[in-house]
Every structure is written in structure tokens, then in C-alpha cells.
Amino acid sequence: MEAFLHQILSGLAAGGIYASLALALVMIYQSTHHINFAQGEMAMFSTYLAWTFINAGFPYWIAFVATLGVSFVAGILIERIVIRPVERAPVLSVVIVFIALLVIFNSLAGWIYTYTIKSFPSPFGGSFFPQNPYMSPHEMGTIGVTFVVLILLYAFFRFTPLGLAMRAAAQNPVSSRLAGIRVGWMLALGWGLAATIGAIAGMMVAPVVYLDPNMMAGVLLYAFAAALLGGIDNPFGAVLGGFIVGVAENLLGAYVIGTELKLTVALVLIVAVLLFKPSGFFGRVIVTRV
């Protein structure tokens, strides 16, 4: 029983990371109707940045905040410089740009930091949380960070004028312009936020999977499955999907198929959702007139 509970709880910790990254995917999807395939590699690169700050001697939380700041600005710049020019391009061109970004970040990280696996510190030491047989301090910390992020995002979008402007711009750009909202900047801001959330997910997962240029490949796949499961246009669904995928992955890995085949679960889930319930469990069914 203790082991079972442990599997569920550490599944929740991993799920929080998938939920965060899924949320980043949903944020960009809602305003552009594209899946940012480079989201994981952007997060990976941010994590290397954090590693650089920490290695330069900065305390963990200073490095953490600095990484978020740089990631936010980088996200905005990527939207302005790379994505803006293909805004009205056909879907395939946009997908190619995303793939190009993915490859560029991956090779850039390999070139700068080499492909050698590095360890990444967890800020949640043994003294931070009480010892218990169910969860490691890092897992508890990860869940805590996830909830803080989710609450902050919810409050931002729900209660601030800027959050309202971003939601309006994502939903109806034409009407938003007629209300004087600078829609282009709202999109860029969305990219900045998504990059920031991704950076948090990267820094939380790195102590577990270790730091290397390919560290986010699996995580992005889980996040993608989570977003699809919850409905790619629904932030709440994506978060719930993240936790479900995290727990399911852990339980199946521990009791059913073994850790080697875990990633297959994500793939099967993605294909199954796309085949049987393309709108996910909480997404809106969009009926296209023909």
C-alpha cells in the first residue's frame, strides 16, 4: 500500500511538470492555433541557462528568477523575430519553423554545453520538507511550485486587465483591435509567458532526468498527451490531463509494462485521443462548416 501511494504521489509530481508544459502549449495554441513543437527545447535551453548561472556562483533562487526573466524576454523576441513573419503563412510553413527552432535550440545547446549529461541541483533539500516514505523533498517541492504557478496564472488571467486583454486577443483578434488592444503584443506576451512556464518545468524536471540537450523530448511528449487529453484549447483540461498522465505513467510503469515502455503509453494515448476524441475531454468541439 505504501509503495502504491508512493507511485501515485510521485506521479502527481511528474504530472505537475507535464501540466505546466501542457499549459504553455495551450497558451500558444489558443492564440495561434499552432502547437509549438519547440516548447520543450526552449525549456531545455532555459534550464542550461539556469545551470550556467548556478555554476557562476549565484544562489539557486537568484539563478531561478534570472532564468525566468531571460526566458520571458527570449520568448517575446522569438515571437517577434521568427514567428511574426510567418503569421499568415500556411500551416506547413509554420510547422517547419517550429521544427527548425527545435533543431536549432537542440544543436545550440549541444554545441555550447556538449552532449555530456550533467547533474542539476534541486532547491528542495532534506531540511525543506519533513522526511516521509511517500515523497522525496524534490517531489513535494515540485508539486508546491506547480500549484503556485497555476494559482498565479489563474489570478493573472482572471483578475488583471492585461490578462483580460490577452484572453480577448486570443479569442477574437478583430474585435480586440476594435477595442484598441494591441493584438500583436498580446501574442508576443503569450510567448514570453509560455517560455517562462516552460523554464520552470525544465528546472523542476532536470534534477530527475538530468541535464542534457535531449532531456525534454519525453517530457514534451507527455505534455502533448496531457494537453490533447484535456482538450488542446482548454487550460484547465490541460492541467488535469497533466496530472492524469503523470499518475497513469507512473502506475503503468511500476505495475504493468515496466519503465522501458513508459513513453509508449504517451504515444498510444496521443493516437487514441486523436482517433476517438479529438477535442479531448474538456475541449470544445469545433464544427467546421463545409
Partner 1 sequence: MSALLEVTDLHAGYGPTNVLSGISFTVEEGGITALLGANGAGKTTTLRAVCGMIRRRGSVSFAGERIDTRATEDIVRLGLAHVPDGRGTFVQLTTDENLRVGALTRRDRKAVAADMDRMYGYFPRLRERGSQQAGTLSGGEQQMLAIARALMLRPKLLVLDEPSFGLAPLVVQDIFRIMRTVNREEKVSILLVEQNAKLALELADQAHLLETGKVVLGGPAAQIRDDETVRRAYLGY
**Nearest alpha-carbon partner for 207 in 121, 113, 118:** 121
**Residue 2: C-alpha distances to residues 6, 134, 146, 221 (Å):** 6, 7, 24, 29
Scanning the chain, the segments in alpha helix (DSSP H) are: 2-32, 39-55, 60-78, 91-113, 137-159, 161-171, 173-178, 183-209, 216-230, 235-251, 262-276
User: Whole-number minimum distance, CB 246 to partner 1, in Å?
Assistant: 28
Which has the closest alpha carbon to 43: 177, 198, 163, 158?
198
Query: What's the chain's Rg over C-alpha atoms?
Result: 19
- Select the residue interacting with partner 1 from 181, 199, 203, 232 (CB under 8 A): 181
The only residue of 1, 81, 92, 174 in contact with partner 1, by rule CB under 8 A: 174
Q: Which of 77, 82, 95, 168 binds partner 1 (CB under 8 A)?
A: 168
Helix, strand, or coil here: 95? helix
CA distance 264 to 225: 11
Strand partners of residue 118:
211
- Which of 169, 163, 164 minimizes the C-alpha distance to 182? 169
> Would you count residue 279 as binding partner 1 (CB under 8 A)?
no
Which letter does DSSP use for residue 118 in this model? B
Q: Single out the residue of 107, 119, 132, 171 in contact with partner 1 (rule: CB under 8 A).
A: 171
Would you count residue 95 as binding partner 1 (CB under 8 A)?
no
C-beta of 5 vs 89, nearer to partner 1:
89
Tell me the closest approach of the beta carbon of residue 175 to partner 1, in angstroms: 4
Q: Any contact of residue 263 with partner 1 (CB under 8 A)? A: no
Task: Indicate the residue among 80 and 118 with the shorter CB distance to partner 1.
Answer: 80
177 near partner 1, rule: CB under 8 A: yes
Distance CA(32)–CA(166), nearest Å, equals 12
Examine residue 176 and tell whether it contacts partner 1 (CB under 8 A): yes
**Residues 133, 161, 275, 287: which binds partner 1 (CB under 8 A)?**
161
Give yes or no for residue 286 binding partner 1 (CB under 8 A): no
Nearer of residues 137 and 231 to partner 1, judged by Cβ: 231
**In the complex, what is the shortest distance from the CB of residue 169 to partner 1, in angstroms, rounded to a whole number?**
10
Query: CA 7, CA 249: separation in Å to the nearest integer?
Result: 10
113 contacts 48 by C-beta, under 8 angstroms: yes
User: Can residue 90 be called a binding residue for partner 1 (CB under 8 A)?
Assistant: no
Q: For partner 1, which stretch binds (CB under 8 A), given 179-187, 198-206, 208-216, 236-244? A: 179-187
Q: Is 183 in the site for partner 1 (CB under 8 A)?
A: yes
Q: Crossing angle, helix 161-171 and helix 183-209, to 10 degrees?
A: 100
Between residues 63 and 183, which has the closer beta carbon with respect to partner 1?
A: 183
The residues binding partner 1 (CB under 8 A) are 161, 164-165, 167-168, 171-172, 174-183
